[in-house]
């Protein structure tokens, strides 16, 4: 979960939008309106979050196939190819 710097209502936001942007410089600000939550953050903070979310995850098909051992997969899954159908298989 995102650690918040501040929280306010939409009414407060209408009165002091500059204050909200000042607070968003320090960290995320939650704005609550009619039981809905919104977050105001700096664009650079969002960029950093997206970069962090992509780290150590495959970005392309080629990334997913790095260190792929098709013989190991064949050994692990090979038995089911020769197993008799149970009549419960779903296609």
Q: Which option is the CATH number for 6-78: 3.40.50.10800, 3.40.640.10, 3.30.450.20, 3.40.1620.10?
A: 3.40.1620.10
Looking at per-residue pLDDT, the higher value among 48 and 64 belongs to 48
Buried b (16+ CB within 10 A) or exposed e, 6-37: bebeeeebeeeeeebeebbeeebbebeeeeee
pLDDT at 34: 86
Lowest mean pLDDT segment, chosen from 1-5, 50-54, 61-65, 68-72: 1-5
Model confidence at 80: pLDDT above 60: yes
The overall pTM is greater than 0.85: no
54: number of CA atoms within 13 Å, CB side?
9
What tokens appear for 79 in the block? Answer: 């038995």
What does the pLDDT look like over 1-59, one tens digit per residue? 566 566 667 677 667 767 888 888 888 888 888 888 888 888 898 888 888 888 877 77
């Amino acid at each position: 979960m995102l650690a918040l710097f501040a929280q306010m209502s939409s009414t407060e936001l209408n009165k002091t939008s500059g204050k909200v942007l000042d607070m968003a410089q320090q960290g995320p600000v939650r704005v609550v309106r009619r039981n809905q939550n919104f977050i105001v953050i700096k664009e650079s903070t969002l960029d950093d979050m997206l970069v962090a979310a992509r780290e150590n995850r495959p970005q392309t098909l080629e990334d997913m196939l790095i260190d792929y051992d098709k013989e190991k997969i064949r050994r692990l899954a090979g038995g089911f190819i020769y197993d008799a159908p149970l009549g419960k298989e779903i296609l």
